Chains A and B, each alone.
Chain A
Amino acid sequence: MKMNKNKNGIDTFTIVNTVFLLTMASLCIIPLIHILAVSFSSSATAATGQVTFWPKDFSLNSYAYVAKRAAFWKSMITSVERIVIGGAINMVLTILVAYPLSLDKATFRARSFYVWVFFITMLFNGGLIPTYMLVKEVGLLDNMFSLILPTAVPVFSVILLLNFFREIPKELSEAAFIDGAGHWKSLWSIYVPLSKPALATLLLFALVFHWNSWFDGLLYMNNPDNYPLQSYIQTIIVQRSYSMMTREEIAELATISDRTLRASQIFLGSLPIIMVYPFLQKYFVKGIVLGGVKG
C-alpha cells in the first residue's frame, strides 16, 4: 500500500479514510431521514416518489390522522406500561440473581447448582411451540404478563452484573457483616448503590428490549386491542392488514396517502428510542465493554 506522506499536514489516507467513514455514517442515518421527510410531505408528492431527504410540499396531514387513531395510542400506552413493569421486574430479578451468584463457593455452597440452572437456559430452549403452549396453559394469553414473565430473568444481564459485583472490594461487605448486617442489607446498602452505572446500563438494555419486542405481542395477544406498539406497527405497516382499522378510518384513508401515513407511524414508533439515544449510546458502550472484553 502506497501512502503519500506529507509530514506537516493531512495525508491522502486521512482524507480517503474520513470521506469513507462519513459515507458509512450517512448511510446509517439516511433511511431514517428519508422516512421522516416522507412523513412530513403531502400525499401527492410522496405517492409519486418525489421526496428524498427533505419534505416536499410540507404537510402535517399524516400526523393529524395518526393523532385521531385510538388504536395507535392504545398500543402506545400498552407499550409504556410494558416497559415500566417489564423493566422493573427485569431489574429486580437481575439484582436478586446476580448477588448470590457473585459470591464464592465457600459463602454460597449451592452456587454451582444455580449457575448451571441459569447457564443451561442459554444453551438450550424448548422452541416456539412448547413455549407458546405453556403461556397458553398458565392462562397468560391476552395478559400483559405473557410479554414480561418469559423474559423476566435476562441471563446476559445477570452475568454482566455479577461480574460488576465481584469488582466491589470485599472489605466493604465484610465490615458490614461485622456490624451485624445480613446479605439483604449488604446487597441493598452496599452493592446496589455502588453499581449504579452498571444498573443504568442494564435498565436501558431492558427498556430497549421491551420497547422493540413485537413478536411475542402477535403471538400471545389474541385480541389486537392488547397489542403493544411494535406489534401494532407490524400488523398494519408490514403485514398491511386493515383488520385493526375502523370503517371510518378506512374511508378517511382514501383521501390521504397510505405512504405518508405509514412513514409517520414508523417514525413515531422509533421516536422514543431516538430521544433517549444520547444516553443509550453512552451506557451501552460501557455495558458492552464491561461484559465483553473482561472475559
Chain B
Amino acid sequence: MISKKLRREIPLHLMILPGFIVVLIFNYIPMAGIIIAFQKFIPAKGLFGEQKWIGLDNFRYVVQLPNFYEVVYNTIFIAMMKILFGLLVPIIIAILINEVRSTGLKKGIQTAIYLPHFLSWVVLGGIFIDMLSPSNGIVGNLFKALNMEPIFFLGDNNWFPIVMIATETWKEFGYGTIIYLAAITGIDPNLYEAAQIDGANRWKQILHVTLPGMRVVIVLLMVLSMGNILNAGFDQIFNLYSPPVYESGDIIDTFVYRIGLLDAQYGVATAVGLFKSAVAFIMISSSYYLARRFADYRLF
C-alpha cells in the first residue's frame, strides 16, 4: 500500500523521468568514462570493455610533452584576456548607451551590436578569414592603401592571440550589455534627480549613481566568469587557427581534439580533458559558492 502523499508525487516523477534518463545516459555515463584517462584505451574494445590499466602513465606522458605547458599557458592567457574585456567593454558601452536620449537611436545601436552574438563561429570564421587575408582581404587592402605592408593576422604568432581576443570581444560585447542595461533600468530615477539638485554633472552621476546601481550585477558576473578560466573558445580558435600559429593559439580543447580524434590517442586526450574538467569543476563550484554568499545568487 503506497501512501497518499507518494501517490500524488508519482506524476511528478513520471514528468521528470525522460529528462532524467537522457541526462543519465548522455552526461553521467561520459563522466564515468573518464576512467579512460587511466587506461591504455583501445576503442574497439568499447567504453567499459576489458582495457589495460596503466595508472597515471597518460598524465606522465602529457606532462613531458614539450608543448603541453605552452598549450596551458595559451589557454589561460587567451581566456583571461577574454574574460577581462568581456567584463569591461559591455559595462562601458552599457553606460554610454544609457546616456543616449533618443529612443530610436538607442534601439538602432542595440540592434546592430547584438547581432554578432547570434552568428556561429563557422560563419564568422569564414568572414574573418576572408577579411584578414593579406593577399586580397579588405583589411590587407586598407594597409596597402596606407602604403603599409599587410599583416598576416591569422598566421603571425604575435598577432593571433590578439585577434582571438579582439574578435571574441567584438562578437559578444553587445550582447553583454543587455544585463547591465537591465540593471541600469532598475535604478530609481529619483537618485538622478537628487544628484542633479546636488549639482552633480553627467560624469558625477555616472560615477555615483549609475555605477553603484550596477554593482551587484558587476560583482556577480565577475564571480561567475571565474568558471571560464580554461575556456579559451574552442569554436572560434578551431575555425581560425592553423599549424603555423599553434605556438600561440593552440589551447587545451583543440589539443585534446587533435591528440584524441586525429591521432586516436584516446587515453592521453581523456587525461588532458579530465585535467581541464577538474580545474573547471573547482572554479565553477567556487564561483557559484561565492555568488551565493556575496550576491545571494541562486540557480535553482
Contact = CB atoms under 8 A, between A and B. Distances in A.
B118 A100 contact: no
Given A97-B16, A134-B30, A284-B114, A123 B284 contact: yes
Given A128-B256, A129-B270, A292-B179, A117 B120 contact: no
A115 interface: yes
B88 to A, nearest CB: 14
Interface string B21-37: 01111111111111010
Contacts of A114: 16, 20
Main SS of chain A's interface residues? helix
B256 to A, nearest CB: 6
Contacts of B115: 28-29, 32, 274, 277
A180 interface: no
A180 to B, nearest CB: 13
B15 A96 contact: yes
Interface string A17-38: 1101110111111011011001
A96 B18 contact: yes
Nearest to A37: B138
B138 A234 contact: no
Interface stretch (A80-88, A147-155, A244-252): A147-155
B108 A25 contact: yes
A266 B126 contact: yes
A182 interface: yes
Contacts of A284: 114, 175, 178
B141 A49 contact: yes
Contacts of A273: 118-119
B81 interface: no
B135 to A, nearest CB: 8
A194 interface: no
Interface in A226-274: 230-231, 233-234, 237-238, 259, 262-263, 265-266, 269-270, 273-274
B9 A110 contact: yes
A110 to B, nearest CB: 7
Interface string A36-79: 00100000000111011000000000000000000000000000
Contacts of A13: 99, 202
A193 interface: no
B192 to A, nearest CB: 16
Contacts of B269: 128-129
A138 interface: yes
A288 interface: yes
Contact of A34 (B11, B112, B138, B288): B138
Interface stretch (B60-68, B72-80, B272-280): B272-280
A233 B19 contact: no
Contacts of A139: none
A98 to B, nearest CB: 9
Main SS of chain B's interface residues? helix
Given A31-B131, A38-B130, A269-B123, A119 B100 contact: no
A108 B281 CA distance: 28
Given A127-B34, A127-B270, A100 B12 contact: yes
Interface in A110-148: 110, 114-115, 117-119, 121-138
A219 B179 CA distance: 34
Interface in B255-282: 256-257, 260-261, 266, 269-270, 273-274, 276-277, 280-281
B209 to A, nearest CB: 16
Interface string A268-295: 0110011001001100110011001101
Contact of B130 (A3, A20, A48, A263): A263
B71 to A, nearest CB: 15
B293 interface: no
A18 B186 CA distance: 23
B140 A49 contact: yes
Closest 5 CB pairs of A and B: A126-B30, A130-B33, A127-B273, A49-B136, A212-B120
Interface of A: 1, 3, 5, 13-14, 17-18, 20-22, 24-29, 31-32, 34-35, 38, 47-49, 51-52, 92-93, 96-97, 99-101, 103, 107-110, 114-115, 117-119, 121-138, 149-150, 152-153, 158-159, 162, 182-184, 187, 208, 211-215, 219, 230-231, 233-234, 237-238, 259, 262-263, 265-266, 269-270, 273-274, 277, 280-281, 284-285, 288-289, 292-293, 295
